[in-house]
Amino acid sequence: MTFERWVDALEARHLADLTQSEVTRALRALSSCYVERRAGLARGAALDGAGKRAAFALFYAPVHFLVTREIVRALRAGDASLTRIMDLGCGTGAAGVAWALECGRDGDRPSIAGVDRNPWAVAEANWMYAQFRLRGRARIGDIARVHVHASERDGVLLAYAVNELASARRAALLPRVRTVAQRGARVLIVEPIARRMNDWWGEWRAALNAREDEWRFAVTLPPLARELARGAGLDPQELTARSLVVATDSR
């Protein structure tokens, strides 16, 4: 499965019962939730309707895939020695799959263990793993409470997940991530570049002794994602993100 064929499969899957106009309106509401109504994120408001779920799958999932792939390539984090990626707050699985595909070769890539609170997202992640023929399973769980057991041959990914947690849950997660980092796991955290959304960032960077980067990528989105973005008033000219990485060569 290639990225392009996956996007085609996404379109067939999520436009079966919705029109493009309906998805565009839903993407406008979804982007407003992320930017202006962030209090609802911890309650799952981002995925509370079929339209928003389709908009997330057709726009944000490809964006997260492409951003994570470019970050992994830039950091040279596509390590063939990794045997598992723990994708905490996996969403539809796009970021975890992007990292796994950069590691090893067909049939020898790391498995993925995804965790997310949203049942629809978990089902989408498992569908995506099957599309790319990757070993692994996503399950329903609270990433602030799940037991995170990882060592030197594991990657731990938190992509667009920490920022959506309520403060208490985020505080509970940090020592768990710090522990696996100290045990040698490769930790990668990816979030939006906007600083006002990441008031916790400095604390996490210091606690993890992590390398910090800001990214701007000139990546072309799939045609439908571009059309949806323009219709929703987004029309990104470049893809941006911030990352924290903890690895053997970055300590």
Question: Is this structure's pTM higher than 0.85?
Answer: yes
Contact 125, 132 (CB under 8 A): no
Backbone angle region of 230, left / alpha / beta, with phi > 0 → left and psi within -120 to 50 → alpha: alpha
- Write the pLDDT tens digit of every residue in 42-75: 445 568 788 999 999 999 999 999 999 999 999 9
Nearest to 118 by CA among 166, 33, 48: 48
- Write the pLDDT tens digit of every residue in 154-188: 999 999 999 989 899 999 999 999 999 999 999 99
Contact 244, 189 (CB under 8 A): yes
Pairing of strands 154-159, 84-88: parallel
Which fold is adopted by the domain 62-250?
Answer: Rossmann fold (3.40.50)
One digit per residue, the tens of pLDDT, for the chain of length 251 reads 899 999 999 999 999 999 999 999 999 988 877 654 444 444 455 687 889 999 999 999 999 999 999 999 999 998 888 999 999 999 999 999 999 999 987 778 999 999 999 999 999 999 999 999 999 999 999 998 888 888 889 999 999 999 989 899 999 999 999 999 999 999 999 999 986 667 899 999 999 999 999 999 998 899 999 999 999 998 788 999 999 999 755 43
Contact 54, 24 (CB under 8 A): no
Query: What is the C-alpha separation between 43 and 30, in angstroms, rounded?
Result: 14
Residue 91 tokens read as: 């969403």
Per-domain residue ranges of the chain? 62-250
Buried b (16+ CB within 10 A) or exposed e, 175-201: ebbbebbeeebbbbbbbbeeeebeebb
